[in-house]
Amino acid sequence: MNTWPTRAAALPDRVSIREVGPRDGLQSENPIPPEDKVRLIDALSGTGLRRIEAVSFVHPKAIPQMADADEVWRAVTRSPEVQYSALAPNLKGAQRALDAGFDHVEVVVSASDTHNLNNIKRSTDESLDGIAELIAALGDRGPTIEVIVATAFGCPYEGDVAAERVASIVDRVITDGAHRIAFGDTTGMATPRRVAELLDLVRSAHPDVPLLLHFHNTRGTALANVLTAMDYGVVEFDASVGGLGGCPYAPGASGNLATEELVHMLHDMGVETGVDLDALIEVAELAESLVGRELPSGVLRAGPRTRLTPKPDIKD
């Protein structure tokens, strides 16, 4: 028997996956009814996933797909083993999230000014001021606040985004009281090089801040990026069941990294996730039927590598 050699020593024993299909994924699919969202969230919580981004509290005019956040969240059967989170665009949204019972709230800022302006009509600095105010205003209610830095590996309008710029955003929000950081590869521009450059900088400045990476598979690099990030000690990743979604503000963006592709690779490498892959693939099939389009996940199409084809009846 072989043992998985050399690089295995550097691999984490376990990776924590946050499932973002119900929010990030559905946000850029055709709208589906609230009861279907609830069905999806509850199915996901039965797969062993321990973190689910459930809804976002954005203005219904901005993202009509999320107008039913309160209704969906009230109807979800909340598993005590799952940490649910909500995205909030601003203080009002964050307050709605806390009022609804969330204790993990995500806020977003784009590292690229042009992307941030196009997204929410504010410069990056203006958004950072808003985040500082939000953290100050909510601090005594005790939520965990994660700042998602979008376009962290490149902007579809500006091109490369300097790792130093992203790192300085991290410095600022940590100073302002953020508890966690996520880097979003909003339009799939990350490659192993970009991941390594950014993590090198950020990990040397903030070795202990919880850090999560969110990759899109737009150009085929998502799992290569995950591999690189694990080399830098990152053990938290977003993924979206079936590869649901993209980014409504990012032209040319295609699907999120599919959760089952991430779980499939990690498990074969001996990295645990706690997820039942077969159950997850069934939920990907459900997701596909709910949104009514073929989802881009290879593991959904082909099954895991352990799913064998019946041996043919070979005649001489």
Q: What residues are labeled active site?
A: 247
Closer residue to a copy of itself (CB): 257 or 275: 257
Closer residue to a copy of itself (CB): 45 or 228: 228
Tokens of 138: 């909510």
The piece of 21-29, 69-77, 98-106, 217-225 that touches a copy of itself (CB under 8 A) is 217-225
- Is 62 one of the binding residues for a copy of itself (CB under 8 A)? no
Among 46, 48, 130, 192, binds a copy of itself (CB under 8 A): 192
Cβ–Cβ under 8 Å, residues 63 and 87? no
d(C-alpha 168, C-alpha 3), whole Å? 41
Cβ–Cβ under 8 Å, residues 301 and 255? no
Size of the site for a copy of itself (CB under 8 A): 69
- Is 162 one of the binding residues for a copy of itself (CB under 8 A)? yes
- Is 223 one of the binding residues for a copy of itself (CB under 8 A)? yes
The piece of 47-55, 70-78, 129-137, 195-203 that touches a copy of itself (CB under 8 A) is 195-203
- Is 312 one of the binding residues for a copy of itself (CB under 8 A)? yes
Closer residue to a copy of itself (CB): 214 or 264: 264
The piece of 101-109, 124-132, 133-141, 268-276 that touches a copy of itself (CB under 8 A) is 268-276
- Is 194 one of the binding residues for a copy of itself (CB under 8 A)? yes
Three-class SS of residue 89? coil
The residue type of 126 is E
Site residues for a copy of itself, window 236-255 (CB under 8 A)?
251-254
d(C-alpha 111, C-alpha 170), whole Å? 10
Considering the complex, what minimum distance in angstroms separates the CB of residue 316 from a copy of itself?
Answer: 7
- Is 91 one of the binding residues for a copy of itself (CB under 8 A)? no
Site residues for a copy of itself, window 33-52 (CB under 8 A)?
none
Closer residue to a copy of itself (CB): 131 or 229: 229
Closer residue to a copy of itself (CB): 6 or 77: 6
Among 45, 65, 228, 256, binds a copy of itself (CB under 8 A): 228
d(C-alpha 247, C-alpha 141), whole Å? 31
Backbone region of residue 292 per phi and psi (left: phi > 0; alpha: psi in -120 to 50; beta: other values): left
Give phi and psi for 59, each to the nearest 5.
-70, 135
d(C-alpha 130, C-alpha 200), whole Å? 28
d(C-alpha 128, C-alpha 152), whole Å? 15
d(C-alpha 83, C-alpha 74), whole Å? 15
d(C-alpha 123, C-alpha 113), whole Å? 5
d(C-alpha 3, C-alpha 258), whole Å? 28
The contact set with a copy of itself (CB under 8 A) reads 2, 4-8, 114, 117-118, 121, 154, 156-159, 162-164, 187-189, 191-194, 196-197, 200-201, 217-224, 226-228, 231, 251-254, 257-258, 261, 264-265, 268-270, 297-299, 301-306, 308-312, 314, 316
